[in-house]
Amino acid sequence: MPSAVPPASVPPASIPHVLPQRRRGRGAASNESGRYEAERREAFDDGWESLDELPRLKTEVTFETPRKIITRNSSPDISFDRSINPYRGCEHGCAYCFARPTHAYMGLSPGLDFETRLFAKPDAARLLEKELAAPGYEVKTIAIGTNTDPYQPVERQYRIMRQILEVLAEANHPVGIVTKSALVLRDLDILAPMAEKGLVKVGISLTTLDRKLARKMEPRASTPQKRLEAMAGLAKAGVPVAVMTAPIVPVLTDSEVERLLEAGSAAGATSAGYVLLRLPLEVAPLFKEWLAENFPDSAEHVLSVMRSMRGGKDYDAAWGERQKGRGPYAWQIGRRFELACRRLGLNVRRDMLRTDLFTPPVPVGGQLKLF
């Protein structure tokens, strides 16, 4: 079980190029220092074989105490303007995770540190209650799981996501959740009543149906079958479910688009979405390392096709294109996705979550409204 340590005990980003036996079950192959660090560290063999004696990497969790828990954004190509991240870093260890560069802000590596040096926000529910109760708060859907997964393995111990849901349910506040974990079924007792009121929808990320490939790409996430079972369980309980074929990795998973949508539809999904693989900042070298280690024969092909959809670059952050790419290959993926959705009856209608039921909470020690 991960252990919590105080913030003061978090050391600077550690040594890259970690031996396979130390990082078994992890996604990244190295632990390069963050881009804001003044020093760059490398491992080398000093002749005493000391590297072989280092212990296997374990998950450590540091408690974080932010002043606010709702994060705002004004990005024109994102459908929400506010989100909550119960955790920084993600133990799922997805090789392609676009959130990895955020660990550099903590003085840690976007590589293995991102999936082993986590930050939990135990006061999240209390902060949320306070922000929802603030005078003038305007109700809009809160997105959870857009950066790191709220149902990653450490949630079993800390239950921060569940506490957040309890506050949202009490206030009748709409929420959209994205996850690749079957742990979401634990909270059906909260999600089902919220769904009856039109207050919740859940997107399950399904990148591949190939269990071996999923284990390489997303080593600590639920298996594809477990994710489909989660979709079925949510749908059976009346919770609107979307199948998110995200990210689509050219060459490795793009051939599965139709099958992923078919499997999601059969499990009860009524809507779908997709995002093309994104490689911002430190994600690009980390993903290239992962490709070279796991798919050496097709690595250059994957990158070549990727660049053909990004204007010849590893990544293009331009709004309107960063999610879907451009060019013939990207266009083909988009049309295949649209045709499959039409055939399966996905995205026929998009129900908006209700905001008219919202009742501001009264924080502990707070004052009731006169009217």
pTM across the whole model: 0.91
What tens-digit pLDDT sequence spans the chain (371 residues)?
555 554 433 433 344 567 788 898 999 999 988 888 877 776 665 665 555 567 889 999 999 999 999 999 988 888 899 999 999 999 999 999 999 999 999 999 999 999 999 999 999 999 999 999 999 999 999 999 999 999 999 999 999 999 999 999 999 999 999 999 999 999 999 999 999 999 999 999 999 999 999 999 999 999 999 999 999 999 999 999 999 999 999 999 999 999 999 999 999 999 999 999 999 999 999 999 999 999 999 999 999 999 999 999 999 999 889 999 999 999 999 999 999 999 999 999 887 999 999 999 986 655 555 44
Residue 273 bridge partners (DSSP): 244
Q: How far is CA 370 from CA 129, 360, 367, in A?
A: 19, 13, 9
Structure tokens of 361? 């909470």
**What are the residue boundaries of the structural domains of the chain, listed by start?**
3-344
Longest Cα separation, the chain: 76
Give the number of residues written for the chain.
Answer: 371
CATH architecture of 3-344: Alpha-Beta Horseshoe (3.80)
Q: What is the pLDDT of residue 7?
A: 45
Q: What is the pLDDT of residue 9?
A: 38
